Each structure stands twice: as C-alpha cells, then as structure tokens.
Structure 1
Amino acid sequence: MKNERSRPNAPLAARIVLWMTLLFLYLPIAVMILGAVFVRENEQIHATLKWFVEVLNDEALMGALRNSFVVGLCASVLSTVIGTAGALGLRHNKRAWTWAVEGLSVVSLIFPEIVFALSLLSWFFILKMELGLTTVVLAHVSFSVSYVMMTVSSRLATLDASFEDAARDLGANEWQIQKTVVLPLLAPAILGGFILSFLLSFDDFLITYFVNGVGQDTLPVKLYTAMKLGVSPKLNALSSMMFLMTLSALIFFFRSSAFRVLFEENRGKNGSSAEEKNL
C-alpha cells in the first residue's frame, strides 16, 4: 500500500474567495436574525423577543404555519411511500423501458420550476380540480418523489445481496424478504428521503404560489405577501423562525443514521476501492 501524500494547503487567494463567498451567503441571514432580536427605541438599541411573541400570537401567521406543516407532512408521507415503492420496483424489473421511468423520475430536478408550476396549474385546470391544500399536496408530491427515489436507490445500490440470498435459503418468499430484510436495511435512507421531501415542501414558494387556493396560504406564500408592505422586525422574526426550524431538521438529518448510511458508508467504499487499486 502506497503512503498517501499530504494534501498541500490551499493558496491564500482561494481561501479569501471561500470566506468571501461564505460571507455573502450567510451575512444576510445574520442581519435578518439580528433585526428580529435587536430593536431601536428612543435612540437606544436593546435586545427583545417581542416580535417573536407577536408572530406566535398572530392567528393568520399561525394558520399559515399549520397549513405548511399539514402540506409538508402529507406530501412527505406520500412521496416516501411512492418513491420507496418506485425504487424497489425499478430494482426488481430490469427491462428495456425502465430507463425511461428512471429518466422521467428526475424530470422535476432539471425542469425550470416556473415551467413545472405552470404545467401543474394547467393540469389541475384540465381536471377541473378546485385549487386548495389538496392541489398543493399533489404538486409537492410530484417533485418530492424524485428525491426520495434517488435517496432510496442509492442505498439499494450498496445493499449486499447475500442477505436476501440467505433469507431465500431459509424459505422466505419475496414479500417476507422485502418486509423483514430489505426495508429494515433501507430505513435510514427512507428516513432521509422523508426529511428531505418535508424540507422541500415546507420551504417551497413558487409552485405553491401557483396552485394554492384563496385563503389557504402556506407560510412562505404568507411571508411573500406580507413583504409587499415592507420589511419589518416582525417579518424578520418570522423568517428567523422558519430558518431555525429548517436548520433543526437538517441537524437532525446530519446526526441521524440516514446521513451516515448515505454518505459516510459510500465514502468508505470509495476509499477502500481506491486503496485496493493502489495495492
């Protein structure tokens, strides 16, 4: 085995570009949070949580928050079920047309979001469906399924087939193999797909703006309409709460077994294969 050469330090210019990029990305978020916590009264600046309390006491905003949670949970559950079933189906049906299904499953990843939103709106109009939370859930499922399928498929590609062969040798049928062997091994990937689809649904604005009904706004849409009257500390507090909720879900995902299975295990495999080549 060859000794790995130490990686040289990045040049100073590259580090400056990196820190400048991070500054431009995260400085607006820091300003938003500071604008929600610190207020200026009587030419004095002091910290307060008043605006967060006002957001929690605002019935319209809390109603929009409930809509976002309902839509996010429904869409993520449906996307997880459909995406997992689709990934398993593609794995067990290696036919000539499966490549077309795999290609169509990632359409939402490459289509411009505005085109996707307009096509969904036209489809709901053709079906004569009344716009509301139901159409929002269906729209979110349509683009979240692709992410779940990709997440579960990447885990399926790393599964050791010997577990299924051992179950067959013990007399298990295909349904028992899927239920007692494959699905437990896929649990971290399924959880990761669920969290990812929930975050995508909870934070989505453009597609929701096109397909939601009157008086059934989700939190991002409500935030957009409120910002037309100008940015206020209350809106900063609302945006900060959305950011903290999303950040909490991401931290949970990164600390869960789903992240370790999807990324660390694959990285370990790539590392071991590289070592084998160097032998």
Structure 2
Amino acid sequence: MIFLWLPIVLLVVFSFNDSRAVNQWQGFTGQWYGNIFNNIIGTEARFSTELMLHAVGNSLFVSVVAGIIATIIGTMVALSLARGHYPGRRLLDGLLYIPLVIPDITQGVSLAMFFMIAFGFINNLLGLGANYGFGTIIVGHVAFNISYVAVVVRARLAHMNPRLEEAAYDLGANGWQTFWRITFPQILPGIIAGWLLAFTLSLDDYVVTFFNNGVGTTTLSIFVYGMLKTSVTPEINALSTLMLVASTVLVVISLGMQSQFSKR
C-alpha cells in the first residue's frame, strides 16, 4: 500500500512547496493554486490558463454526456440480467465483466482501429468528412463505463424485495407502471451512484481519450500530460491535486449513497 499512497501524498505535499524545484522543500505556500487561474503556466502559450479552462470544459462535457448514456444503457443491462430469462443471458453476464479486466491500452487501440475502419467506410460510401472528435471520445468512455454502471445497479437490484413487484402485478399494474412506481424508486440510489462512478472514471481517463481524441477536443488529462512532457512544475502538482480531490469527493459520495440506502 505504501507504493500506492506515498506518491499521492508527496504530490499533495509538494503542491504547497514554496519552490519551483519539485524535489526540494523550502516552506509552505498556496501561490501555485493561484497561478493556475491567474497566470501563464510554463513558458509556452499552449499552457495558458485559458487553454486549461477550455480543457476543463471539454472534460466536464464528455464526462456528463458519457455518464448519462452509460447509465441508461448500464441500467438496462442490469435489469435484463436480473429480471430477464432468455438465451444468451449467461454469455452476456460474462461479457459484462470484460471491460473491467482488459487493459486500458487494449481498449484505446481497439476503439481507434474500429473508428478508423468505420470512418473510412462511411467517408468513401457517403462522401462525408467524419473524423475523430467528441463523438469518438464519448463512445469510447461509454464503452468501458457501461459495465461499471451495470454492476452497481445490479447490486442494488439484488437487495430489492421481489415481492414488491409481484404485489404490484397482483394489484393490476402493468410492466411499465410497475417499473416506474416500484422498481425505479428502489434502484434510483444505485443509478445515481453508477452515474457518479461513470462520471469520475470518464473525468480521469487518459488512455482511451488519447487514442480517440480529435482537433479541439483536448481534455484535462491530455492537457496535464502535455505539460509533463516539458517539465514537472508546482502548477502541475496543484492541478493534479485538485483533480484528485474532485475525483475522491465524487467516489465518496457514490459509496456513501450506496451504503446509506442499503441500510433502508
């Protein structure tokens, strides 16, 4: 565990270091956090605060949209596996966990190749100029987030009393009414927790985004990596710390909601 937490602790500590040398402690300061929003970061114009905020906006847009789509599809998959009885159900159940275990680099490269082939076919057939952009990033993020959402929602369904749905049917409710009046309120905490998890994973993702981004679609993770290619500065430590705090807060909220509603 020390190899996991020590680098993170050092990152946070040195984001308050009163020195531009990242390996020498000279006192406490919070100026680097101010520099993120007030000054030029680094020596190149592409590291300006304006571009950083643009990258933040791109990340939030991608994460929100990908999270919503992944939550809708993931919830449908979870309901299908928990309530459905059809051929291939066991196969779908097994395929659900593949995105959770395969390396990010494999997902990123395979999606990039898929889009390359698809765009080549579409552009030749229809004469369009389809290319990499927000759409490809969102599709890539949805692809690996569906499984996470499905697992979370399915866990919520497992704790739901099936007799509630049976009682609704006995009282004359149809499937649609039963879902919206009985099932949906019961699994809503799981759906929200799944969206928060998908949003967090999408916000932090670098590998899939790197292989499938286009012109003008730089996200915050890509922006930070671009800064690291020149040098490690205190501003990078501060920006990374803010990303860490945001992700941690979202994960804690997600876990807290699951824990709270599981007791009810």
Q: Does TM-score exceed 0.5, indicating one fold?
A: yes
Residue type at the aligned position of 1:86: V
Assess, with a 3 A threshold, how the Cα gap between structure 1 residues 44 and 151 changes in structure 2: closer, same or farther.
closer
Q: Structure 2 stretches of 5 or more lacking a match?
A: 39-48, 120-129
- In structure 2, the partner of 1:273 is none
SS at match of 1:100: helix
The Cα shift of 1:56 comes to 2.1
- Cα distance in 2, alignment partners of residues 24 and 103 from structure 1: 32
The Cα shift of 1:33 comes to 1.7
- In structure 2, the partner of 1:139 is 140
The Cα shift of 1:134 comes to 1.3
- In structure 1, the partner of 2:83 is 92
Aligned residues: 241
Residue type at the aligned position of 2:109: L
For the 8 Å contact 2:55–2:218, the answer to whether it is kept is: yes
- In structure 1, the partner of 2:242 is 241
The Cα shift of 1:27 comes to 2.0
- Cα distance in 2, alignment partners of residues 178 and 104 from structure 1: 26
- In structure 1, the partner of 2:209 is 208
For the 8 Å contact 2:71–2:149, the answer to whether it is kept is: yes
% of aligned pairs identical?
33
- In structure 2, the partner of 1:49 is 30
Assess, with a 3 A threshold, how the Cα gap between structure 1 residues 218 and 170 changes in structure 2: closer, same or farther.
same
The Cα shift of 1:46 comes to 3.7
- In structure 1, the partner of 2:260 is 260
TM-align CA RMSD: 1.9
- In structure 2, the partner of 1:69 is 60
- Cα distance in 2, alignment partners of residues 44 and 167 from structure 1: 65
Mapping 1:217-232, distance limit 5 Å: 217-232=218-233
- Cα distance in 2, alignment partners of residues 72 and 139 from structure 1: 11
Residue type at the aligned position of 2:245: L
TM-score by length of 2: 0.85
- Cα distance in 1, alignment partners of residues 252 and 82 from structure 2: 31
Residue type at the aligned position of 1:137: I
For the 8 Å contact 2:74–2:146, the answer to whether it is kept is: yes
The Cα shift of 1:92 comes to 3.2
Mapping 1:22-171, distance limit 5 Å: 23-40=2-19, 45-57=26-38, 58-128=49-119, 129-171=130-172
Residue type at the aligned position of 2:14: G
- Cα distance in 2, alignment partners of residues 261 and 38 from structure 1: 41
The Cα shift of 1:49 comes to 2.1
- Cα distance in 2, alignment partners of residues 122 and 186 from structure 1: 37
TM-score by length of 1: 0.81
Say which one has the larger Rg. Answer: 1
Assess, with a 3 A threshold, how the Cα gap between structure 1 residues 74 and 54 changes in structure 2: closer, same or farther.
same
For the 8 Å contact 1:192–1:259, the answer to whether it is kept is: no
Q: Deviations over 1:29-66 (max 9, x none)?
A: 2221222212138x993432221122124111111111
Q: Which one is further off, 94-103 or 144-153? A: 94-103
The Cα shift of 1:261 comes to 4.1
Q: Which one is further off, 57-66 or 204-213? A: 57-66
- In structure 2, the partner of 1:12 is none
SS at match of 2:18: strand
